[in-house]
Structure 1
Amino acid sequence: MKLLVLGPLELRLERGALDLGQPRRRAVLAALAADAGRPVSMETLLDRLWDGDPPDGARSVVYSHISRLRRLLEEAAAEENGGAAALPSISLGKVSGGYVLRADEDAVDLTRFRALVERGREPTCPDGERTGLLEEALRLWRGTPLAGLSGTWADRTRTAWNRERIDAALACAQIHLRRRTPDRVPELLRPLLADHPLNEQLAALLMRSLAATGSTADALHVYTETRKHLSEELDLPPGPELRSLYEELSRGADLGRQPAPRQPATPVPAQLPMDVRPFIGRSDQLVDLTRALTPADSGAGVTAAVVSAVSGTAGVGKTALAVHWAHRSREAFPDGQLYVDLRGYDPQSPLSAGQALVGFLTALGVPLQEIPLRLEDRAARYRTALNGRRLLVILDNAASAAQVRPLLPGSPDCRVLITSRDSLSALVSVHGAHRVVLDALSRADSLALLRALIGERVDAERACAEDLARQCAWLPLALRVAAELVLSRPAEPLSRLVAELHDHQRRLDLLASGDDPRAAVRAVFSWSYARLADLPARLFRLLGLHPGPDADLHSVAALAGESVEAVRRALDVLVRAHLVNRTGGGRYGMHDLLRVYAAELAAQHDPRADRDAALTRLLDHCLAAAAAAMDVLYPAERHLRPAVERPATGLPPLRTAEEARAWLSAAQPTLVALCSRTQEPGPARHTVRIATTLHRHYERTGHYTDALTVHTHALRAARSVGDQRGEADVLALLGAVHRRLGDYDTARRLHDTALALCRRSGYAAGEARHLTNVGVLLELRGRYREAAEQHERAVALFRSVGDAHGEADVLNNLGIVLELVEDFKASIERYERALTLYRSMDHAFGEASALGNLGILLARLGDHTAAAGHFERALTLFRRLGNASGTGHALTNLGNALSGLDRHAEAAGHQREALELFRRIGERYGETGALNGLGEALHGLGRPAEALEAYAQALEVAREIDEQEEQARAHVGTAVVLRAGEDPARAVGHLREALELYTALESPRAQEVMRMLNGD
């Protein structure tokens, strides 16, 4: 008896594969097989089966499947042994809190694979034996692991196992090249590179092996194809190793047999902030960190260090210590350094773990569209991206263990350095973190820092210098601010300046506890602030009101209502005084203590009306800049966005798509923070306009997380001020996001709520928009007649209000439904009218959409050549727009047309690309369509087992989202493959399932299935 998971899940006996039953039962067995020999808790099983969100009664479902699996295994063992009692090769046992799948090493292909690879990696193993072991391990793979299973855990597990396969294949190939047997390498690497076309290590070794066998032309072709995939998928050129290899081959160089040194296949982040200069003292803590975080054995030691202070932590130099140590230790982390300021003590906008993960994943090379929506899924993807890499992660200014826990890598090769005012005892007790306690500087180190900052005056007036350090509570932040003020007054003796600081301390109404170091910090801040001219002082106070982590020059100018040049000069003053710091990219930030102090000053000195006016100016600026960026990125939809006025203080440069995207990315935390202030009337009205301005950007980049955040705030804002039209518009945006995520029920509830609101308020254009959205949902449910009725009513409403754009959108949707009910003439008419309207408005997205729909109809009518032309033009437009969803559908449709032209290999490539794209952005409807298209292409290539696997996955996804059209398509495709394989009985069962679905959908395709059942 063998359990096979490195391909379609199978329990194989001598007589053949055993029927494991329904998908959920197969998933239970897979979840146990992944940890064969180790206990798996019930909580882990539930998490793997339902992606962390088990329904009520889930435990009972698992118990039932476990019971059935145990009987299946017992019956199989009895059959295997001819009914005689014997120890089974695979059995299922109960352990405390869970279950364990017990199996002989050779009984589970995954276990066997890992054992062979481990033996092949032993240092004493000869190369000849090593390649034999690795090749035997690689032969155990039969395609996609856990094929037929879907969900976050299955996807994550497949990714990890595929990485093990690639690593084994690369090791084997390198040995063959070293032993001068390169002819053995192509058969190892070609299939893997076909499945992982972006893997530059695979491409490089394949090129070397081909060149070594004299097939230089084939090697150059591998480079060309890899470059094409990298450009189209990641918009990146090949890495240095591939480029160098290509250049050598082009010159006819003899590469020999040795592969080049391994190059990282993913970006190497280098996010450390600038090192603090001068850095004084902390030698014991630096040694402690080195001992904790860079053990000689990369797999030994702790994986986290917490830098914290027992008391008075603010301003003690935690960040400076962490960054300084990280710069000194860069060579210990060749795969890079990640850094994030979690702003844990920011009273307005601390950074969530989910937001931090977006930044980390982007830095690690994960495209924005590929970043999952849920926090747990993001954390899992982050751990996967870090697996096997030796990388340092700095989590600065954390508020709690809960904030940082999702940011901890799972790889023992990574190290985490955390700074916090909290002791983070939960990390110490649960995760084995090492705590480094940081207190104020010693007297000697404080004087040494002052000497490094202000020079010989410290030695000349040593007593005064010591008094100054004492008044700064020996805290580095206060010492640096005080030193800058001393430097600005070179003619005055230290004694006078120290006396002045004494006066400030006496006058300030400080905290009740006179020995609290924060009181001294605020005294020093006050001393420095008092020396500022009017504009820098006012600017400092206003920056305390800014809700984002940092701001660009034009945002600060808008906040102050001053010219950009005047604000630039004032910011330079604040930077020199260490009251503001440059954060990179032309942006400015503040230490959290300074931010709190600035906000307190604003509350004391600036009337409420002035503070509200400053925030309103900032909102006006952000809305205008967002609109300007959207005008650059989506010019054809300018008239659909709210009209905004250009602020008097001007806008940052937003002339190109690159500048627009960069501004939107940098400003996103501020936009979200501004939108969260829904309790205030001014921000409430701005929030709705920000949401309706940015929604297309979120939709077309696939960044649904920010979309849901901003739109939810906007809905709350609209309701708080009684803005019914704004509420209806935002409900449309939320409904569209939920539809794209496959949550059709939530989307329908949102649109129904909005329809009632539009009718009550007489908002005809809003009613039309929601009617067509409901029509799309009905079409996805297979209720085509009802969908057509909704679209027709929407067309009439849009025409009545003169909205040509809305009319074109609905005509496009209506054409789809008419095509589904086989009213082809009417469908073509609607598409062509929509296409004409889109082109008259120079609307590239609408044009691409209409072209795609026309292509689908032409393909259905048998004109695959014309259809392919339409799809290629649509694909070009969608890629130019950077629209992930549209690109995926164009690829799928083009693949379908190429299958119709018997160009199945090209078709399969397009479907795989589309499938990967849909999975990245979480679009389940597109995923099931791509899987069905892949099944058709694989069948055309004569690969029935892989075709059946693709159809099985398509069917499971379609069932999960209740997409009946694709369910029926998967059944028909499966039946066609089974018939060709002379398994008519099973084929009939699938055809009957398809017939039932098409009949319920009132689809004319039911007649086609009926003819197939009758043998036509």
Structure 2
Amino acid sequence: MEFRLLGAVQAWTDAGPVELGPARQQTVLAALLVDANSAVSVEQLVDRVWGERPPPRATHTLYSYVSRLRRLLPDMINRGPGGGYVLTADASRIDVHRFRRLLGQAGEADDEARAVALFQEALALWRAEPFAGADTPWFNAVRETLRKERWAAELDCTERRLRLGQHAELLSALAERSALHRLDERLAALYMLALYRCGRQADALAHYRSVRGVLAGELGIDPGQDLRRLHQAILDGGAGLCAPAAPAAAPPPSASAWVVQSQLPLAPPDFAGRDGLVDHLEELLTSPAAVPVVVSGSPGVGKSALAVHLGHRLRPVFPDGQWYVRLLGTTGRPRDPAEVLSGLLRACGLDGDAIPEALDDRAAAFRSRVADRRVLLILDDAADAEQVRPLLPGTAGVSVLVTSRPDIRGLTASHGAHPVPLTVLEQGEAHDLLAGVLGGQRVAAEPEAAARLAELCARLPLALRIAAANLGARPGTSLAAYAQELTEGSRRLARLSIAGDRQAAVRTAFDHSHAALAQGTARLFALLGLHPGPDFTAEAAGALAGVSESEAEHLLDELATAGLVQRTAADRFQFHDLLRLYAQELAEADPERESAWERLCTWYLATADAATAFGYVGSVQLPRPRTESDRFADRHQALAWLESERAHLVAVITHAAESGPYPIAWQLADQLRPYFYRRRHYPEWEAAMTAGLRAARQQGDAAAEAAMHHGFFLMRQHAGRIQDALEAVHLAREGYRRAGFIPGEAAILTNLALHYGQRGQMRHALGWQEQAIALARSLGRANSLGRGLNMAGLIHTYLGEFDRALARTTESLEITRAAGQESLLISPHINRAIARYGLGQYEEGVADATEALRLCEEHQQRHSEAGANEVLARIHRDTGRTELAHTHAELALPIARATGDTSNLADCLTTLAGLHRVRGRLDTALAHLTEALHLTRRCDARHQQAEAHVGLAHVHEDLGEPALAAEHAERALSIARELELRPTERRALTVLGAVGWVTGDVQERARR
């Protein structure tokens, strides 16, 4: 049995940590799905997934995995009562729950035929062995329970079918099952009854004797009372065992003969893609309880082609006819349902004189006429639900497929219709369509141009077919040349047409839908062409149109109903590139376009102000009025908005830098700098700062230019681009001085300290940092002062001045906490833990690092988790808790790799290597230390180079290679003495002393 939950299985598999393989991840998923909507603890999951002997780190591994799932799918994985986890899921989409629900409905059904249909639908969900590959006591028990439920359902279904007189159809299957399940008395009774009803009384009695012999021989018992009674009844030839009489045939509604109609238009020979969707639609249309299927989508998306393709594919399934009706819903003059019904009644053979006049009477006559027939009815291009409702049959034998630009959701409410939104083709499907029309050889000769052409056509089937037809008429034109013609944005829609055929034009298809819109809806559609992002919310749309969010939601719903925008799974809206281009053309003629764009920019800046107030406030940012708002209830909601709008914010910055208002570009880039920095969104950050710098230069604003260079420094510093970073920090300092912005200059002093500190030049760094602290105190800037004190504390730890480090980091924590910046407490807690580790205050250090981890989880600042775990690993190692130390070190390393922080990664590698060395895994330790040394050399982090050399010296000492050990220790000692790194110096001397004892070099020991 498969367990399906939309597309979550693959998403969750990709989300898991390295130590939990894909097969095990899917086993965890299955264990959660079986108890969907009920709390399951991590301990229960361990028992289910691993069984009686889980590996030592199973609980920690699963905790990490489930935590990642909660971050990935926060709306589906939640904490339940008692500390367990709840997978919130629609049980109707999980096979095991659907199976049990259908069994319950079948058991309550009064009609035998309906019950059989429900049993068969439930049994059809079984596709494979449940939990294949999972071998734990819990999974085995659940598997066995499911097998028993399936077997009972099969027998219940067989019993119902026998009541319907289907004994002949069942006989072969019952014989096969009886041979496999010789001890099942209920199965034996069903088989004996079927044999008797087929006129094989002797065979039925012989089977009874066989079962009685097996029961006596293997179990030492006689058949049960029910089977004995059936045996006696067969001996007596009881009338009660006879099959039910067949129901009398209902009289035909009319004397007119039925006429089979095959009205489908020519199927497109080059239909491409939609394979999974076609299979899904086929399943819906051929299921026993068929309901109307409504395929909706934007103009030109291929609804009619899909319907006709599917109709031809299903012709054998509907022998009584395949009807195709164009309802002309987008022409402005939709067909009258009464007229359509008249045509359908005539088509199936009803005399014209017998067709009633009233719409309701015609609908009733139509339902009677098609009752118990197997007919496929395609209603193409429906205008609305009112047009379709009278055309719907009353029995499940007639399957109805409706296509419509509006989603006509009213049919879902009134008739349980199944909505199927149709979107543009995937890239591969678009390629196949072009190849089908133009020929595979021509498309294969220019693969890149073909892909470009598909994107310029927005992978819209109508546009692709028009482009392919135009290219077919110009065999000398390359795909690349035609794609280049289409890149002229203002003319693309005009070129996507066929001369002389107004219907073969993308713009015409769009015009039909746009013309049907109300004035306010049409105005919003045009203004949406100004939005630069890939999608948008109702709130952003409201800002564009100058209306409330609720009114914008209503207008967007009308646009979605018209097929001009699509609602995404995240409850946002989008349209494909050609509709965007069409909207932009409409916006060009709108006199309100400039004020609408300014409203959108202002809204994004104000909302960014509100969102970044929750933990993403920089130590210094450009002075301007900032919006105070209760827009976000908490930091999680604020961060969710920043993450979802990240691409749109960058797009607004870029567009504002090109066409104004220019201040929006640098103000947004400056406001988002702490968010981009702490979340490590480097590509978006660089794009935002580049655009902001361009706008600042255009406007001639020195402070804005300096702020952009400030951001460039931080990003390049963390990327290891040392010279570029140094250039940017001096440009920023010069710009802040020129603009007279002293807080900016103070921040740059801290940045210079950071720069030199990351090179290991701690005394030099401390000098810059002390200047920054003094300036921050004089300005009374708590954020800047807190950061500066924290940085100074870290510098003191490298110099071995742990008392000063403790005092500085403690003061930083006090100032930051008083300023209410809780998210900024993470780094001071980590650095104070390092100071306390140096002082031997291990338990206090553990408390600080643990609090840092809690804050990381609460504020979703994952990059800092590596530093906190690395410090915990060191403390636990030195206090003899090696297993716990190893766990923290193993957690730290992948986080450091994922976040791309070279300095953090080097520390994690060095610490983990030391733990591998303690366990005797010298090869692994050597590999980690070699990588750390390579990283630190690449970014010139000499203090970390020295630590890597100390680690390598220890490993070579353990390998019995004293010469190499001494060489690495000497290098570490040289760097440590040059940079005044006292703790590193002591560690290097320890190794040299040990090497001296081993080699017997008394002179060397004395010198040291």
After superposition, where does 1:330-345 map in structure 2 within 5 Å? none
Amino acid in structure 1 at the alignment position of 2:790: N
Could you tell me which of 531, 553, 556 is aligned with 1:568?
A: 553
Amino acid in structure 1 at the alignment position of 2:753: G
1:432 CA drift (Å):
11
- Residue 595 (structure 1) aligns with: 580
Distance in 1 separating the partners of 2:496 and 2:958:
84
Could you tell me which of 531, 554, 557 is aligned with 1:546?
A: 531
1:818 CA drift (Å):
2.2
Cα 1:243/1:787, change in 2 over 3 Å:
farther
After superposition, where does 1:748-759 map in structure 2 within 5 Å? 748-759=726-737
Distance in 1 separating the partners of 2:849 and 2:307:
51
- Residue 613 of structure 2 aligns to a residue in which SS? helix
- Residue 270 of structure 2 aligns to a residue in which SS? helix
Task: Answer yes or no: is the 8 Å Cα contact 2:620–2:747 preserved in 1.
Answer: no
Could you tell me which of 976, 992, 1006 is aligned with 2:985?
A: 1006
Cα 1:914/1:957, change in 2 over 3 Å:
same
Cα 1:844/1:321, change in 2 over 3 Å:
farther
Distance in 2 separating the partners of 1:853 and 1:815:
7
- Residue 674 of structure 2 aligns to a residue in which SS? helix
Task: Spell out, residue by residue over 1:5-57, the C-alpha distance to the aligned partner (whole angstroms, 9 max, x if none).
Answer: xxxxxxxxxxxxxxxxxxxxxxxxxxxxxxxxxxxxxxxxxxxxxxxxxxxxx
Matched, 1:716 2:716: no
Could you tell me which of 920, 928, 933 is aligned with 2:906?
A: 928
- Residue 230 (structure 1) aligns with: 65
Task: Answer yes or no: is the 8 Å Cα contact 1:911–1:934 preserved in 2.
Answer: yes
- Residue 10 (structure 1) aligns with: none
Fraction of identical pairs, as percent: 27
Cα 1:789/1:281, change in 2 over 3 Å:
farther
Cα 1:755/1:638, change in 2 over 3 Å:
closer
Distance in 2 separating the partners of 1:425 and 1:658:
53
Distance in 2 separating the partners of 1:882 and 1:690:
22
- Residue 285 (structure 2) aligns with: none
Distance in 2 separating the partners of 1:771 and 1:851:
23
- Residue 73 (structure 1) aligns with: none
After superposition, where does 1:469-548 map in structure 2 within 5 Å? 515=500, 517=502, 521-523=506-508, 525-526=510-511, 529=514, 532-548=517-533
1:791 CA drift (Å):
0.7
Task: Answer yes or no: is the 8 Å Cα contact 2:19–2:61 preserved in 1.
Answer: no
- Residue 823 (structure 1) aligns with: 801
Amino acid in structure 2 at the alignment position of 1:626: A
- Residue 645 of structure 2 aligns to a residue in which SS? helix
- Residue 612 of structure 1 aligns to a residue in which SS? helix
Cα 1:973/1:559, change in 2 over 3 Å:
same
Matched, 1:428 2:444: yes
Cα 1:225/1:289, change in 2 over 3 Å:
closer
Distance in 1 separating the partners of 2:557 and 2:47:
60
- Residue 45 (structure 1) aligns with: none
Matched, 1:845 2:823: yes
Cα 1:771/1:316, change in 2 over 3 Å:
same
Distance in 1 separating the partners of 2:541 and 2:17:
51
Task: Spell out, residue by residue over 1:118-153, the C-alpha distance to the aligned partner (whole angstroms, 9 max, x if none).
Answer: xxxxxxxxxxxxxxxxxxxxxxxxxxxxxxxxxxxx
Distance in 1 separating the partners of 2:564 and 2:636:
32
After superposition, where does 1:779-790 map in structure 2 within 5 Å? 779-790=757-768
- Residue 586 of structure 1 aligns to a residue in which SS? coil
- Residue 968 (structure 2) aligns with: 990
Matched, 1:915 2:878: no
After superposition, where does 1:711-750 map in structure 2 within 5 Å? 711-750=689-728
Task: Answer yes or no: is the 8 Å Cα contact 2:619–2:787 preserved in 1.
Answer: no
1:779 CA drift (Å):
0.7
Distance in 2 separating the partners of 1:326 and 1:907:
61
Task: Answer yes or no: is the 8 Å Cα contact 1:642–1:693 preserved in 2.
Answer: no
Could you tell me which of 905, 908, 928 is aligned with 1:950?
A: 928
Task: Spell out, residue by residue over 1:759-806, the C-alpha distance to the aligned partner (whole angstroms, 9 max, x if none).
Answer: 122111101111111111101111111111111111122222221110
Greater CA drift, 239-248 or 945-954? 239-248
Matched, 1:611 2:593: yes
Amino acid in structure 1 at the alignment position of 2:612: M
- Residue 562 of structure 1 aligns to a residue in which SS? coil
* TM-score normalised by the chain length of structure 2: 0.55
Distance in 2 separating the partners of 1:696 and 1:849:
14
Task: Answer yes or no: is the 8 Å Cα contact 1:928–1:954 preserved in 2.
Answer: yes
- Residue 19 (structure 2) aligns with: 196
For structure 1, list consecutive stretches of 5 or more residues without a partner in the other structure: 1-165, 167-192, 260-277, 295-313, 330-393, 399-403, 409-414, 439-448, 450-468, 477-507
1:437 CA drift (Å):
12
Task: Answer yes or no: is the 8 Å Cα contact 1:551–1:587 preserved in 2.
Answer: yes
Amino acid in structure 2 at the alignment position of 1:892: E
Distance in 1 separating the partners of 2:311 and 2:962:
68
Distance in 1 separating the partners of 2:832 and 2:645:
39
Distance in 1 separating the partners of 2:464 and 2:977:
81
Task: Answer yes or no: is the 8 Å Cα contact 1:641–1:692 preserved in 2.
Answer: no
Aligned residues: 637
Amino acid in structure 1 at the alignment position of 2:574: G
Which structure's CA Rg is the greater one?
Answer: 2
Task: Answer yes or no: is the 8 Å Cα contact 1:794–1:810 preserved in 2.
Answer: yes
Amino acid in structure 2 at the alignment position of 1:428: A
Task: Spell out, residue by residue over 1:309-334, the C-alpha distance to the aligned partner (whole angstroms, 9 max, x if none).
Answer: xxxxx9654699799999999xxxxx
Matched, 1:688 2:666: yes
Distance in 2 separating the partners of 1:324 and 1:755:
68
- Residue 783 (structure 2) aligns with: 805
Task: Spell out, residue by residue over 1:163-222, the C-alpha distance to the aligned partner (whole angstroms, 9 max, x if none).
Answer: xxx9xxxxxxxxxxxxxxxxxxxxxxxxxx9972465528969x99x9999995433866
For structure 2, list consecutive stretches of 5 or more residues without a partner in the other structure: 1-12, 32-42, 72-76, 78-84, 88-93, 95-128, 148-262, 280-297, 314-421, 455-460, 468-492, 997-1004
Matched, 1:888 2:904: no
Task: Answer yes or no: is the 8 Å Cα contact 1:899–1:940 preserved in 2.
Answer: no
1:522 CA drift (Å):
3.6
- Residue 704 of structure 2 aligns to a residue in which SS? helix
Task: Spell out, residue by residue over 1:632-682, the C-alpha distance to the aligned partner (whole angstroms, 9 max, x if none).
Answer: 4658989999644479xxx9x743555434433332332222111244564
1:908 CA drift (Å):
2.1
1:892 CA drift (Å):
1.0
Distance in 2 separating the partners of 1:323 and 1:923:
53
Task: Answer yes or no: is the 8 Å Cα contact 2:610–2:627 preserved in 1.
Answer: no
Distance in 1 separating the partners of 2:723 and 2:564:
51
Amino acid in structure 1 at the alignment position of 2:722: Y
Task: Answer yes or no: is the 8 Å Cα contact 1:681–1:721 preserved in 2.
Answer: no
- Residue 874 (structure 1) aligns with: 852
Distance in 1 separating the partners of 2:900 and 2:985:
30
- Residue 648 (structure 2) aligns with: 670
Task: Answer yes or no: is the 8 Å Cα contact 1:911–1:930 preserved in 2.
Answer: yes
Cα 1:987/1:753, change in 2 over 3 Å:
same
Amino acid in structure 2 at the alignment position of 1:916: P
- Residue 629 (structure 1) aligns with: 611
Amino acid in structure 2 at the alignment position of 1:224: T
Could you tell me which of 946, 950, 958 is aligned with 1:972?
A: 950
Task: Answer yes or no: is the 8 Å Cα contact 2:712–2:725 preserved in 1.
Answer: yes
After superposition, where does 1:90-109 map in structure 2 within 5 Å? none
Distance in 2 separating the partners of 1:734 and 1:195:
33
Cα 1:328/1:887, change in 2 over 3 Å:
farther
- Residue 546 of structure 1 aligns to a residue in which SS? coil
Distance in 2 separating the partners of 1:922 and 1:323:
50
1:931 CA drift (Å):
0.5
Task: Spell out, residue by residue over 1:719-771, the C-alpha distance to the aligned partner (whole angstroms, 9 max, x if none).
Answer: 22122222222222222122222223222211111011111221111011111
Task: Answer yes or no: is the 8 Å Cα contact 1:557–1:563 preserved in 2.
Answer: yes
Distance in 2 separating the partners of 1:887 and 1:279:
62
Distance in 1 separating the partners of 2:969 and 2:793:
28
Cα 1:231/1:580, change in 2 over 3 Å:
closer
* TM-score normalised by the chain length of structure 1: 0.55
Could you tell me which of 36, 50, 54 is aligned with 1:219?
A: 54
